[in-house]
Amino acid sequence: MPDRGFTPTQLAARAAYLLRGNDLGTMTSAAPRLYPHMWSWDAAFVAIGLAPLSVERAVVELDTLLSAQWRNGMIPHIVFANGVDGYFPGPARWGCRDLAANAPLGMQTSGITQPPVHAIAVQRILDHSRRHGRTTRAIAEEFLDRRWPDLVRWHRWLAHARDTSENGRITLFHGWESGMDNSPRWDTAYANVIAGAVPAYTREDLAHVTDAAQRPTNREYDRYLWLLEEMKTARYEDTELSATMSFAVEDVFVSAVFSMACEILAIIGEDHSKPHSDVRELHYWAERFRKGVISTTDQRSGAARDYDLRGGTWIATDTIAIFAPLISGGLDREAERALLRTFEGPKFCGHPDLRYAVPPSTSPVSKDFRPFEYWRGPIWPVMTWLFSWVFARRGWAERAHLLRSEGLRQASDGSFAEYYEPFTGNPLGSMQQSWTAAAVLDWLG
């Protein structure tokens, strides 16, 4: 339990208070200043944190997100809050409303996507609703009935538009789509992006996180924004993007999450008598993407790799993404054991200098490791949560428990930071990050 700071009861109360404070009405901002809008995978985690507090409010969160779904099925990575400035690139820079035929009518969104963790949130909402009376159960079930077609459409879009070669791996056209924006996984792919003239811009993030060493560099930002210009030229059309984008990678982590999410949705569909054809398709995708993930792995170590479609090269960096097969399942016994040993060993959670035994975003022994810099080393509590949840689901109760208790020990400082320095445990990036509070609430719920 906590080695400093708050007791579990105090911590849960503070986490609930934080989510309440970040609540804009029908959406929760990802963080008060740095991220004043709704982010797709953040919203799913936020719903997971809200579910034990209020099933109704958790449903509202997902409803808001899904009402911004694009006509092709994509869930956009940002849904902009009305009348809120202070984030760049905002709606004007994305230009989706003017350029994209698939963009939703009512809401302003970005033009890319994020990891498909939403099925977990739907499952948590249904689980929590069962502990309540008829009215709350009915709200959760009515939500599922109403949104089932949208959830399937979302998964179908990923399986079709983002896996055109049907090899069971999801293609991304921007590093932001991975949710791990500046992970060293994308360094070589970005190195091949030749940024043309990018319209002038001012970074807002550096006004909130004043230590620039904790954020991506300006060079990185130029490339991020250049990719937006490329997408705008393609008018965000799925078929155009695969032909024109100078950044295109197959993300093994997203593919594994997708496989797992398809399985979860299929089970929900079975339990709630959804159309057989949907359930069959979901099971099929779960299997196709599981195989896709396994096809990237090293036979002995079980470690997974991404693939750079433009460079035609495998990407093998020692980041948290090598553990993708633990999420999707499908490795043979020996390789799975080896991969778990790596997870728990000195390259990751068992590194002797770590303050808490939780997985850093990049291995401290990697040459790419930077302890302060965003996805290049720091610990992201929401990742700890994801692995603890996955491990519990896979029947590894003890491992799940250990991650949970270490994650809670880390969170007991009460800062609910976006990410933490692995050796000192100091909070970094944005404070009062919604998904960090959500992880804590689920753990303590």
Least separation, in Å, of the C-beta of 42 and ligand GLC?
A: 5
Tokens representing residue 375 in the block: 């996805």
Catalytic residue status for 406: no
Angle of the 434-444 helix axis to the 381-393 helix axis, nearest 10: 40
Distance CA 289, CA 164 (A): 13
Catalytic residue status for 298: no
Backbone Cα Rg of the chain:
20
Going by the DSSP 8-state scheme, the letter that residue 90 receives in this structure is -
Q: Is 154 in the site for ligand GLC (CB under 6 A)?
A: no
348 and 377 in contact (C-beta within 8 Å)? no
Helix and strand numbers, DSSP H then E, in the chain: 18, 8
Distance CA 122, CA 62 (A): 8
Interacting residue with ligand GLC among 6, 12, 41, 173 (CB under 6 A): 41
**Of 55 and 324, which CB lies nearer to ligand GLC in the complex structure?**
324
**Of 56 and 181, which CB lies nearer to ligand GLC in the complex structure?**
181
Give the bridge partners for 104, in sequence order: none
**Of 180 and 262, which CB lies nearer to ligand GLC in the complex structure?**
180
Q: Which stretch binds ligand GLC (CB under 6 A): 34-42, 67-75, 185-193, 296-304?
A: 34-42
Least separation, in Å, of the C-beta of 40 and ligand GLC?
A: 7
Distance CA 175, CA 182 (A): 7
Going by the DSSP 8-state scheme, the letter that residue 260 receives in this structure is H
Going by the DSSP 8-state scheme, the letter that residue 165 receives in this structure is T
Going by the DSSP 8-state scheme, the letter that residue 184 receives in this structure is G
Interacting residue with ligand GLC among 28, 42, 52, 157 (CB under 6 A): 42
Least separation, in Å, of the C-beta of 214 and ligand GLC?
A: 12
Considering only residues 396-425, where is the footprint of ligand GLC by CB under 6 A?
none
Q: Which stretch binds ligand GLC (CB under 6 A): 15-23, 36-44, 270-278, 389-397?
A: 36-44
Q: Is 87 in the site for ligand GLC (CB under 6 A)?
A: no
Going by the DSSP 8-state scheme, the letter that residue 317 receives in this structure is -
Distance CA 321, CA 314 (A): 13
Q: Which stretch binds ligand GLC (CB under 6 A): 38-46, 282-290, 303-311, 335-343?
A: 38-46
Distance CA 230, CA 180 (A): 21
Q: How many residues does the chain have?
A: 445
Q: How many residues bind ligand GLC (CB under 6 A)?
A: 7
Q: Is 60 in the site for ligand GLC (CB under 6 A)?
A: no
Tokens representing residue 365 in the block: 């022994």
Least separation, in Å, of the C-beta of 41 and ligand GLC?
A: 6
Least separation, in Å, of the C-beta of 61 and ligand GLC?
A: 14
Tokens representing residue 4 in the block: 């400093």
Distance CA 191, CA 44 (A): 32
**Of 157 and 380, which CB lies nearer to ligand GLC in the complex structure?**
380
Distance CA 411, CA 406 (A): 9
Distance CA 143, CA 386 (A): 24
Q: Is 30 in the site for ligand GLC (CB under 6 A)?
A: yes
**Of 154 and 285, which CB lies nearer to ligand GLC in the complex structure?**
154
Interacting residue with ligand GLC among 6, 39, 148, 253 (CB under 6 A): 39
Q: Is 204 in the site for ligand GLC (CB under 6 A)?
A: no
Tokens representing residue 49 in the block: 């944190």
Distance CA 305, CA 322 (A): 6
On the question of a cis peptide bond just before residue 52, with omega within 30 degrees of 0, the verdict is no
* Of 250, 251, 308, 418, catalytic: 418
Q: Is 35 in the site for ligand GLC (CB under 6 A)?
A: yes
* Of 141, 181, 187, 220, catalytic: 181
Least separation, in Å, of the C-beta of 418 and ligand GLC?
A: 7
Q: Is 179 in the site for ligand GLC (CB under 6 A)?
A: yes
Question: Which residues in this chain contact ligand GLC in the complex, by CB under 6 A?
Answer: 30, 35, 39, 41-42, 179, 181
Indicate which residues carry an active-site annotation: 181, 418
